[in-house]
Amino acid sequence: MQAPYTNLKTHHKWVEFSAEDTTLNLSNASVEQLQEWKQQLSAEYDNVLARKLNLDLTRGKPSAEQLSLSDAMDGILAGDYITASGIDVRNYGGLEGIPEARAIGSDILGVPVENVLAGGNSSLTLMYQTMAIAHQFGLAGEGSAWSQEGTVKFLCPVPGYDRHYSVCEHLGIEMLTVAMTSTGPDMDQVEKMIAADPSIKGMWCVPKYSNPTGVVYSDETVERIANLGNIAGKNFRVFWDNAYAIHDLSDNPVALANIFEACKAAGTEDSVIQFASTSKVTHAGSGVAFIAASDTNLKFFKLALGFMTIGPDKVNQLRHAKFFAADGALSAHMAKHAAIIKPRFASVLKHLEAAFSDNDLGEWESADGGYFISFDTRPGLAQKVVKLAGDAGVKLTPAGATFPYGKDPQDSNIRIAPTVPTVDQVEEAMQVFVLCVKLASVEQALANS
Ligand SMILES: Cc1ncc(COP(=O)(O)O)c(C=O)c1O
């Protein structure tokens, strides 16, 4: 069995105390030593309080500088509203989206165009709609609605994305947690749970640069997820939210195996539904979202969608298609995003390395893409660290947000989102973050001594 995510990290040496160049070896420290550290750290913390900072590491959204990369989309149609195949995008219709937009989704997700629908601005909306449709009407026709089978449960790899949990909660779907490992969800646990409980109807997955751990699912994990449809009942659906499919920071990004192909090989095409969007590619509030699925899933999705809309915003879809029309335009555009984000990630990682690579005060994964870095404090300290940082003017995502029902059983996970602040602001915020982790850890050790 895979070790849990939190046990896989390798940062276990002793830290250098910033002010005194002192090693913060909490486990072996005497009470006197702990008291002395507490005094020093508290004095530093008081200095920070006096600076009345106002910094924010909560928001997983593009910075204004990133948004500006796509401003040329504005006016790009220049009065030409007709697609290559003659569709007037100003008019009603075209439930599946225009072919050019579906082609972008096909590129991002590695799925044939026929199996991709290009929708409105939000993949979260598509996920909500898909889940609501699966629950109430079913994605495989007569008799496939989850609601007909009583209790419905979903597997949630943790830590994960809070809005996935909100969708389940809103639709009355129970959530069961599964540990994340450095290769994806703990698949031994997943397979065991699904085999034992037919009321588990699906699982959330963010397979590349997972929110918040940054983990990319290994080839073996992808293959095992594709095979889940052979273990679970026919109405089981993995929600494969590939929100960060093209959001690489490294020049040699790890490739994610193609789940569509893997499902085909396993004979489970209906068991996985994929999602993506250009929210963090172009303008976050006015991108294009995609759903990719088997012919059957797409047929029943569209059947229900047809009651909700006559068609998506095709004008915006055509703007995107024109913006990315040139060969290589999309990857060149993503490289510009990476150039902006990279120094922010580097700053976060630099501070974590310097403060915690030599001790057991915190653990993290260094992500090569996506929008987040996930940090685990010693158990029982996340809420305290978030409060200390907040009081010192550094806003962090509320502790617990990365777990269903907002409850982190270990109270240790904190999501760091460094894209919006400037590099200088990230630097300053991380100094405070590190200080708060140290202070909370020393106070806890003192209380337990
Ligand atoms: C994993 C994940 N999925 C979906 C979204 C939202 O996507 P959209 O803007 O397409 O609704 C986010 C936004 O942070 C996300 O992190």
User: Which atom, in ligand 1's list, is nearest to the CA of 126?
Assistant: 11
Residue 108's identity, in one-letter code, is I
Per-residue pLDDT of the chain (449 residues; tens, 9 = 90+): 333 333 333 333 333 344 434 568 898 899 999 999 999 999 999 999 999 999 999 989 999 999 999 999 999 999 999 999 999 999 999 999 999 999 999 999 999 999 999 999 999 999 999 999 999 999 999 999 999 999 999 999 999 999 999 999 999 999 999 999 999 999 999 999 999 999 999 999 999 999 999 999 999 999 999 999 999 989 999 999 999 999 999 999 999 999 999 999 999 999 999 999 999 999 999 999 999 999 999 999 999 999 999 999 999 999 999 999 999 999 999 999 999 999 999 999 999 999 999 899 999 987 899 999 999 999 999 999 999 999 999 999 999 999 999 999 999 999 999 999 999 999 999 999 999 999 999 999 999 98
Omega before residue 185 within 30° of 0, cis: no
pLDDT (0 to 100) of residue 338: 98
Domain residue ranges of the chain, discontinuous segments joined by +: 5-64+332-447, 91-325
Could you give the count of Cα atoms lying within 13 Å of 235 in the half-sphere of its Cβ?
Answer: 26
Domains 5-64+332-447 and 91-325 share a fold: no
What is the fold, at CATH topology level, of the domain defined by 5-64+332-447? Aspartate Aminotransferase, domain 1 (3.90.1150)
Instruction: Decide whether any atom of ligand 1 lies within 6 Å of the 245 Cβ.
Output: no
Instruction: Decide whether any atom of ligand 1 lies within 6 Å of the 109 Cβ.
Output: no
Identify the helix (H) or strand (E) that includes residue 290.
strand 289-292
Question: Which of 59, 124, 246 to mutate for ligand 1's pocket (most ligand atoms within 8 Å of CB)?
Answer: 124
Question: Which of 66, 67, 130, 161 to mutate for ligand 1's pocket (most ligand atoms within 8 Å of CB)?
Answer: 161
Helix, strand or coil for residue 157? Answer: strand
User: Which atom, in ligand 1's list, is nearest to the CA of 277?
Assistant: 10
**Cβ pair 126, 298 in contact under 8 A:** no
pLDDT (0 to 100) of residue 23: 65
Question: Which of 167, 211, 216, 397 to mutate for ligand 1's pocket (most ligand atoms within 8 Å of CB)?
Answer: 211
Backbone φ and ψ for 153, nearest 5 degrees, come out as -125, 150
Instruction: Decide whether any atom of ligand 1 lies within 6 Å of the 216 Cβ.
Output: no
Instruction: Decide whether any atom of ligand 1 lies within 6 Å of the 211 Cβ.
Output: yes
Residue 6's identity, in one-letter code, is T
Helix, strand or coil for residue 34? Answer: helix
Instruction: Decide whether any atom of ligand 1 lies within 6 Å of the 206 Cβ.
Output: yes
Report the distance separating Cα 223 and Cα 129, nearest Å. 26
Give the residue from 260, 314, 267 showing the smallest Cα distance to 115: 260
- From the candidate CATH numbers 3.50.50.60, 3.20.20.480, 3.30.390.50, 3.40.640.10, the one assigned to the domain spanning 91-325: 3.40.640.10
Sequence-distant (≥ 6) Cβ neighbours of residue 205 within 8 angstroms:
157, 184, 185, 217, 225, 238, 239, 240, 241
Instruction: Decide whether any atom of ligand 1 lies within 6 Å of the 60 Cβ.
Output: yes
Report the distance separating Cα 225 and Cα 371, nearest Å. 24
User: Which atom, in ligand 1's list, is nearest to the CA of 279?
Assistant: 9
Identify the helix (H) or strand (E) that includes residue 103.
helix 99-109
Report the distance separating Cα 271 and Cα 229, nearest Å. 5
pLDDT (0 to 100) of residue 25: 85
Report the distance separating Cα 94 and Cα 224, nearest Å. 36
Structure tokens at 362: 């915190």
Q: How far is the CA of 343 from the centre of ligand 1 (A)?
A: 22
Which single residue is written with the structure tokens 């909660």? 169
Q: How far is the CA of 243 from the centre of ligand 1 (A)?
A: 6
Instruction: Decide whether any atom of ligand 1 lies within 6 Å of the 277 Cβ.
Output: yes
pLDDT (0 to 100) of residue 215: 96
Instruction: Decide whether any atom of ligand 1 lies within 6 Å of the 241 Cβ.
Output: yes
Instruction: Decide whether any atom of ligand 1 lies within 6 Å of the 278 Cβ.
Output: no
User: Which atom, in ligand 1's list, is nearest to the CA of 60?
Assistant: 14
Instruction: Decide whether any atom of ligand 1 lies within 6 Å of the 58 Cβ.
Output: no
Q: How far is the CA of 124 from the centre of ligand 1 (A)?
A: 6
Instruction: Decide whether any atom of ligand 1 lies within 6 Å of the 108 Cβ.
Output: no
Instruction: Decide whether any atom of ligand 1 lies within 6 Å of the 122 Cβ.
Output: yes
Q: How far is the CA of 13 from the centre of ligand 1 (A)?
A: 35
Report the distance separating Cα 232 and Cα 229, nearest Å. 5
Sequence-distant (≥ 6) Cβ neighbours of residue 355 within 8 angstroms:
15, 16, 18, 361, 362, 434, 437, 438
pLDDT (0 to 100) of residue 2: 36
Rounded alpha-carbon distances, angstroms, from residue 374 to 104, 213, 377, 412, 436: 30, 5, 10, 10, 16
Report the distance separating Cα 282 and Cα 396, nearest Å. 25
Alpha helices in 267-328 (DSSP H): 295-305, 314-323
Instruction: Decide whether any atom of ligand 1 lies within 6 Å of the 167 Cβ.
Output: no
Structure tokens at 340: 């902006």
Q: How far is the CA of 284 from the centre of ligand 1 (A)?
A: 9
**Cβ pair 376, 412 in contact under 8 A:** yes
Structure tokens at 128: 């909500």
